[in-house]
Amino acid sequence: MMLRYIALKRLFLRSQNLIYGFLGFVMVLVAWDLLTRTGLVDPFFISSPGRTWNALLDEVGRGTMMKDLAATAGSFGAGLAIAIVIGVPLALLTAWFKYIEYVVDPFFWFLYNVPKLAFYPLFIIWLGLGTPTIVALTALFAVFPIFANTFTGVREVNPLFLIAARSFGAHQWQLFARVVLPAAAPVILAGVRLGIGRGMVGVIIAEMFGATAGLGFRMNYSASLLRTSEYFAPLVVVVALGLLIDQLLRVVERKVGRWNQT
């Protein structure tokens, strides 16, 4: 009896974070449900958990959810790929060559401080209304954390590693490929995680502003028709995706970073 109690207690302690966290979500759902059930707030404005669930099932059933997900995922994937392909090499060059840094620096700071959406009308003029603009905006949102982290990662490589490698006769290229890049990998990966978060913001906003499919489009469309349940359904999907991707990347980060405590 005693032993079982101790075992239970240990189980509780170990999963305490999960239990409390779960409790928080349940509390919000219950409060949301009660607000509408008691008639304190008209579900017209805030929907309700049940209505949102039904709207979600409905959108899945009609196939619009898959269509929206595919559109958002496509734009997001393309934007992120562009951001990585541009951001990582540029940051590596910038961190490695002093003069490139001096040249890139002012432009980087200028662009870093602009609310990126200010470029949206410009992209519309350049690329037209539609997917290319959405992809471009996603890339623009995602590229900055990726660039900044890659730069920092290369700059903060332990100088002892460099001295050691050099004293064993490593060339510039070997130094770069064998020492700097692996040492900076965890920080670069953290940048990609941040970039994914920013890229999600970019893709959703861009779709809200002008698209014909996608989760952001669906939210904008439903809200402008005052169909709150149909607005909340894609929002729930966006939140769930955000959490899922974030957790997934944290696991990957831990795996990559294990041998190198930075």
Partner 1 sequence: MTAFARRHDRVMVGALAVLCVVAFWELSGRNGWVNPLFTSYPSQVLREGIELMSSPRFPEHARASFLEFAYGFVLGILVGLPLGLILGRFRRLNLIFEPLIMALYVTPRLALLPIIIVWLGIGLYSKVAVVFLGAVFPILINVLTGIKLVDPLWLRAARSYGASELDLFTKVMLPGSLPYIFLGVRLGLGRALLGVIVAEMYVSTVGIGHLIMQAGEIMRTGRLMFLAILVSLLGTALTLGLRSVEGHVIRWGRASDRG
Q: What are the E-state strand segments in the chain?
A: none
Kindly tell me which residue out of 205, 211, 213, 233 binds partner 1, with binding defined by CB under 8 A. Answer: 205
Q: Which stretch binds partner 1 (CB under 8 A): 5-13, 48-56, 173-181, 224-232?
A: 224-232
CA dist 158 and 180 (Å) reads 9
Kindly tell me which residue out of 8, 34, 57, 122 binds partner 1, with binding defined by CB under 8 A. Answer: 122
Tell me 41's DSSP state.
Answer: S
Least Cβ distance, residue 152 to partner 1 (angstroms): 8
Q: CA dist 109 to 60, 104, 140, 144, Å?
A: 43, 9, 14, 10
Tell me 40's DSSP state.
Answer: S
CA dist 201 and 93 (Å) reads 28
CB under 8 Å to 84, separation ≥6 — which residues?
A: 142, 146, 192, 195
CA dist 91 and 104 (Å) reads 9
Least Cβ distance, residue 77 to partner 1 (angstroms): 16
Least Cβ distance, residue 247 to partner 1 (angstroms): 9
Entry field: residues in the chain: 262
Least Cβ distance, residue 162 to partner 1 (angstroms): 21
Contact flag: residue 231 with partner 1 (CB under 8 A): yes
Q: Which is nearer to partner 1, 82 or 196 (CB)?
A: 196
Interface mask (CB under 8 A) for partner 1, residues 72-101, using x and -? ---------------------------x--
CB 160 within 8 A of CB 142: no
Count of residues of this chain found to bind partner 1 when the rule CB under 8 A is applied: 60
CB 191 within 8 A of CB 145: yes
b/e per residue 161-195 (b: at least 16 CB within 10 A): eeeebeeeebeeeebeeebbeebbbbbbbbbbbbb
Least Cβ distance, residue 115 to partner 1 (angstroms): 4
Least Cβ distance, residue 104 to partner 1 (angstroms): 8
Kindly tell me which residue out of 92, 204, 211, 233 binds partner 1, with binding defined by CB under 8 A. Answer: 204
Contacts with partner 1, residue ranges (CB under 8 A) = 16-17, 20-25, 27-28, 45, 99, 102-103, 105-107, 109-111, 113-122, 124-126, 145, 148, 194, 197-198, 200-201, 204-205, 208-209, 216, 219-220, 222-224, 226, 228, 231-232, 235, 238-239, 242-243, 246
